[in-house]
Structure 1
């Protein structure tokens, strides 16, 4: 059984100092996480449109805005683990960071081993508090909602869902989805993909009375944007 609990923790590192960003991202990836780095709040906002994550590592000294203000206003950060790394070490600034939603406040220079341990701790916490999840059965070709109501999938729908479920929270390109269906993207009519996704959404709406959490990612493909277990 594959669940989002057994997948590597996803970490977003927002750090404008290139060498430090590279060091953090490289170390966390070596420790078994899936880490990505961006160097500004604008880039972070764009990244969040197509990715899910578990833990945020945020530098406050960024070139394009107030990291604390962004932290307090960003809805995608709710229920996520947040580690602030900054040169600002005064007591009142630590308090501001905690109030803005940070779990940990690290003053630079930071120890990468300590950071990795903190990410692990926050990952356990965020996953233990995770919301109910969808369930995809490879054996029975069924998709079940968190409420326990399920419906049958066709072979193509099952393959499509399996591909997206393995990358839950991330945009999967149309080309990769086509390849998973056993077709050649060079000659495939992508309107067939749109019909397949629309049919799947309609089936979920008719059965569950609610929308299926499949998001269309402009110019890229599709993303399943909810916790899901594959059994």
Structure 2
């Protein structure tokens, strides 16, 4: 079975070499590239499953590269950002990065992120499972698509609708969904969400929470063709208003 191809796009030669060597040691076909042009050459020669992409690259930056990579279905994007760079994370979320690494890169975290992303990509490519039999509605709760029971897969980062539609989540979306699922249909405050996503108290001037919520809501609605059970609670935060269980 051929090894999975991963392209590491990083202009810092020593870090690029370390990541490539480590991933090769893990059994992957890791290919180095120092910029967007070399990445394009790599992808023209061989299809890749994952691209590890530094934000600050010479010439075409990581955001622009990620934006055009999103036009290629089935390719995973892991962005590498500077420590504490909220702006990088917000822009990356808007573009649709699947996961993030923060410099200095921990190689075991790199391996874990790559393997988790590959599992999710394989799950999306697999034929959909037959819809599960819907359990009786909870008292006071209708049996509509929004209210019949969602499933959050904490291993493969998948949110599955009551009728079997699977939605792949990014790392930030998974953190948000996990928090809201744990709240048992009670609203999570913005402080709670900020701590779950970024490990810090909420700053009213920081709109990154709204970016994550908006992207997840848009993704759910695009997948199911209807309103998402992700609701804003004025003056508090957000709530996942339908039953959801974590597996």
TM-score (norm 2): 0.48
Deviation at 1:101, TM superposition (A): 2.0
SS of the aligned residue for 2:63 comes to helix
Q: Identify the residue that residue 146 of structure 1 maps to in structure 2.
A: none
State the match for 2:28 in structure 1.
Answer: 33
Counterpart-to-counterpart distance in 1, 2:123 and 2:3: 15
- Show the counterpart of 1:70: 65
Q: Contact 2:9 / 2:53 at 8 angstroms: preserved in 1?
A: yes
User: Which consecutive unaligned segments of at least 5 residues does structure 1 have?
Assistant: 1-5, 133-231
Where does structure 1 differ by over 4 angstroms across 4 or more consecutive aligned residues? none
Helix, strand or coil at the partner of 2:45? coil
2:94 aligned partner: 99
How big is the shift at 1:88? Answer: 5.6
Aligned partner of 1:11 in structure 2 is 6
C-alpha distance in structure 2 between counterparts of 1:54 and 1:74, whole Å: 11
1:86 aligns with 2:96: no
Alignment of 1:1-231 (within 5 A): 7-74=2-69, 77-87=72-82, 89-130=84-125
Question: How far did residue 87 of structure 1 move?
Answer: 1.6
Displacement of 1:74 after TM fit? 2.8
When the two chains are superposed, the root-mean-square deviation of aligned CA atoms in Å is: 1.8
For the 8 Å contact 2:55–2:88, the answer to whether it is kept is no
CA distance in 2, matches of 1:89, 1:83: 17
Q: Is the 8 A contact 2:81 2:89 kept in 1?
A: no
Once residues 63 and 46 of structure 1 are traced to their aligned partners in structure 2, the CA distance between those partners, rounded to angstroms, is 16
Native 8 Å contact 2:70 2:96 kept in 1: no
1:113-170 deviations in whole A, cap 9, x for unaligned?
11001100111111222277xxxxxxxxxxxxxxxxxxxxxxxxxxxxxxxxxxxxxx
Q: How far 1:51 moved relative to its partner? A: 1.0
Q: TM-score scaled to structure 1, two decimals?
A: 0.51
Count of residue correspondences? 127
Contact preservation (8 Å) 1:71, 1:77: no
Q: Which one scores higher on RCO, CA 8 angstroms, separation ≥ 6?
A: 1
